[in-house]
Amino acid sequence: MTTNKNAPRIIKRLVFTALVLAVIAALTWALWPAPISVSSASVQRGSFSETVTEEGRTRLRDTWNVSAPIVGYLQRVNLEVGDMVTEGDILFRLEPSPAPALDARSRQQAEDNLQAAQARWQAAQANLETARADRRFAEAEYQRYRQLHERNLVSTAELEHRQNQRDRQRALENSAASHVEVARFEVEAARAMLDIASGQRGGANDTAELAIRAPVTGQVLTLHRCCEGSVAAGEPILELGRPADLEVQVDLLSMDAVRLRPDMPVRLSGWGGDPLQGEVRRVEPAGFTRISALGVDEQRVPVIVAFSDSVDPAALGLGKGFRIDAEFLIWHDDDVLQIPTGALFRHQGEWAVFVIEEGRAVRRHLEIGRRQGMITQVLAGLAEGESVINHPGEQVADGVRVSTGE
């Protein structure tokens, strides 16, 4: 009977104990930290390329600046930018510069000088006619005395005297003729002063021209002067270049330029068509300082890239000064163990990642190799197929439970 009376009490206690344990279990479950949601990535093997990409500009390996060799007057240049010329073709012509116009006083003086010169010319011509008449008379006298001397009618001394007079008259005639020429030149000079009094250029038949010819076969790149006018010695007129000599200049950071070597492959893109192939021709030995968009001084080194032999840049429409993107292939391997760069972080001075093992984050140190953008080469510390946490947050720590949401 006693046992039957205590049975309900025992049952109540059991029920109460069960309820208390259920409440404790519910509270424990509610307060137990939930797994941290993370993004995971798999450790994979695959192709890996380390590249350096920078913007460049096309240029010509050699150009020829054709300038005026002397001071002169440039005739109009008929060539246009883009025209092809052959070696030896006439590029432009130079003629002597026109004289400045005369003022009224100088013009009147020039007219007076012309009239005076013409008067001297007329006087010289009159003197020449007189000298010619005296010379003819002296020759006739000499011939007459020579015949008389042959018949012994005059002495030898008299014949020599007549010969001397003849020779003197010949010399006077030559002198008079020279004075006529001098006077004629003076007239022409005085007339030339009046002809250029208005400052106008002479005709094509009266002006000597200097033809400047093309030194090479190429294309007109720049036309510095097109219209006629006076030019100074050494003034550039136009620039020539050969389209076949087109190449690309890329100004790389010095820390990237030291890793390049001649004949390295280069991928050229961003010019408006399909990517082209090229190779490093030369890394310049001297750099320069350039201020970046953020105001930071950068040491840049010019790198010259040549197009592959199968590429004809001129046929593709490329010219001097065109923009182009150059991607330099530093290193490549088809079998590289790699992880996303975002999974890496520094711990105690070493590189580390969080590896997901049985639902928990396990910190592991590793050795990395080359890095290219979002991908990093793994040399030791990870195996292919393992999962790592990509971009771990502050809540992720060694040993915490994580969930990838799969």
51-73 pLDDT per residue, tens: 999 999 999 999 999 999 988 89
Helix, strand, coil proportions of the chain in percent (round to 5)?
Answer: 30, 35, 30
Q: How far is CA 260 from CA 21, 30, 146, 309, in A?
A: 72, 60, 105, 21
Question: Which pLDDT does position 3 carry in this prediction?
Answer: 52
Task: Say if domain 51-60+243-333 classifies as CATH 2.40.30.170.
Answer: yes
Q: Determine how many CB atoms are found less than 10 A away from the CB of residue 232.
A: 10
Q: How far is CA 396 from CA 25, 282, 378, 388, 392, in A?
A: 26, 49, 22, 12, 6
Say if CB 343 and CB 41 are below 8 A apart: yes
Neighbours of 319 (CB within 10 A): 16
Residue 371 to residue 342: CA distance in whole angstroms: 11
pLDDT given for residue 102 in this prediction? 65
At 368-405, the pLDDT tens digits run: 999 888 899 999 999 999 999 898 888 888 888 888 86
Share the mean pLDDT of the chain.
Answer: 86
Q: Give the pLDDT band of residue 198 (cuts 50, 70, 90).
A: low
Tokens 């195996």 sit at which residue? 383
Q: Which residue carries 């969080």 as its tokens? A: 354
Distance, CA of 191 to CA of 300 (rounded, Å) = 66
Q: What digits encode the pLDDT tens for the residues 102-158?
A: 667 777 787 788 888 889 889 989 998 998 888 888 888 888 888 888 888 888 888
Give DSSP secondary structure letters for 328-375: EEEEEEEEEEEEEGGG-EEETTEEEEEEEETTEEEEEE-EEEEEETTE
2 pLDDT above the threshold of 60: no
Residue 203 has pLDDT above 60, yes or no: no
Please, are residues 346 and 390 in contact by the beta-carbon 8 Å criterion?
no
Find the distance separating the first CA and the last CA of the chain, reported in whole Å.
61
249-280 pLDDT, tens digit per residue, is 999 999 999 999 999 999 999 999 999 999 99
pLDDT tens-digit map of 324-361: 999 999 999 999 999 999 999 998 889 999 998 888 88
For 136-145, how does the pLDDT look when each residue is reduced to its tens digit (9 = 90+)?
888 888 888 8
DSSP one-letter string for 180-234: HHHHHHHHHHHHHHHHTTT-PPPPTTTS--EEEE-SSSEEEEEES--S-EEE-TT
Higher pLDDT, residue 98 or 178: 178
**pLDDT, mean of residues 74-93:** 92
- Higher-confidence position of 170 and 190: 170
The fold of the 65-98+204-241 domain, in CATH, is OB fold (Dihydrolipoamide Acetyltransferase, E2P) (2.40.50)
> CB under 8 Å to 274, separation ≥6 — which residues?
none
Q: What are phi and psi of 244, to 5 degrees?
A: -70, -15
pLDDT attached to residue 79: 92
Nearest alpha-carbon partner for 231 in 87, 54, 45, 71: 71
- pLDDT value, residue 1: 46
Which range, 162-166, 195-199, 380-384, has the best average confidence (pLDDT)?
380-384
For the cut 90, the answer to whether the pLDDT of residue 176 exceeds it is no
Q: What is the pLDDT of residue 31?
A: 57
Is the pLDDT confidence value at 290 over 80?
Answer: yes
State the Cα–Cα distance between residues 271 and 317, nearest whole angstrom: 10
| pLDDT one-digit tens code per residue, 205-248 | 555 788 999 999 999 999 999 888 889 999 999 999 998 899 99
pLDDT per position as a tens digit, 32-49? 566 778 888 899 999 998
Tally of residues, the chain: 406
- The answer for residues whose C-beta is within 8 angstroms of residue 343's C-beta and 6 or more apart is 41, 353, 354, 388, 389, 390, 391, 392
